[in-house]
Amino acid sequence: MDDRGGSFVAVRRMSQTLERGNASYQSTSAEAVAGSGAWLGRGLSCVCAQKRDSDARPSFDLTPPQEECLLRLQNRIDVPYDSSIIEHQESLRALWNIAFPEEELCGLISEQWKEMGWQGKDPSTDFRGGGYISLENLLFFARNFPKSFQDLLWKQVGDRSAWEYPFAVAGVNITFMLIQMLDLEAVKPRTLVGATFIRLLAENESAFDILYCITFKLMDHQWLTMRASYMDFNRVMKATRHQLEKELLLEDITRLEDLPSYKLLTR
């Protein structure tokens, strides 16, 4: 099996782990309110890893610079989160410090992490499926669009549901969804959406991180528009993916800032 095959294994493992957690959700509604994220396991299997008719399309050829950009992104995707690596530890602490600047973190394993919407006191268990890039995505969001990041973290915009999605675990799922939607683990794109994204990536190597921020904000916008609640997350993610694909295929999109949903972001 090549290195990228490990990413699919990781996705399946996280999905299985979250589905096992669903049993505890059904018996303990209070845990659901705290954000166990068990429902996200179903979201992964239905939204992120689903086969689509467009997957049967022939692959699109890439220029050498585009191939290089795709390979660098794939290398990022293949890096697992490793709690023994100092850089990964520092990134996790940096995420906490940006999210809660006035609250000191007691440790990388702490009940405090549940405040951000992780499933338990050790975020590394949620990163096992998404890898280090899912942490990089959250950090990029926090640093580049702090207003939108804080709005979503604290659910400050709109008429919110009594049962909200857990912020951090939802973020990991968005990373999953984008990797699958854009077919980023293939040697070259097999959909028009994927090919369009690679063209944008060649123009800006931060394209995946920027698209992540757009997607997170768009997902929350769909959540509010659909008046969704805790168990509706899968339906919201499907609507988000559909809208994102539609926008990426609009004419005259030369950069991600041209996407209509980019306007939802605030710094």
> Where along the chain do its domains lie?
3-264
Of 29, 58, 49, 54, nearest in space to 249 by CA: 54
How far apart (Å, rounded) are the C-alpha atoms in residues 213 and 142?
9
List pLDDT tens digits, range 193-202: 999 999 999 9
Tell me how far CA of residue 219 lies from CA of 129, 177, 240, in angstroms.
20, 11, 5
Using an 8 Å Cβ cutoff, are 77 and 209 in contact? no
Distance (Å, whole) CA 228 – CA 211: 23
> Which residue would you say has higher pLDDT here, 155 or 38?
155
Residues 6+ apart with CB under 8 A from 235: 226, 228
Q: Residues of the chain with pLDDT > 90: what percent?
A: 76
Which of 172, 174, 156, 176 lies closest to 164 in space, CA to CA? 156
Q: Considering only 58-67, 136-145, 183-192, which range has the smallest mean pLDDT?
A: 58-67
pLDDT of residue 130: 80
Q: What is the reported pLDDT for 159?
A: 94
Q: pLDDT, tens digit, for every residue of 45-62?
A: 334 444 444 444 567 999
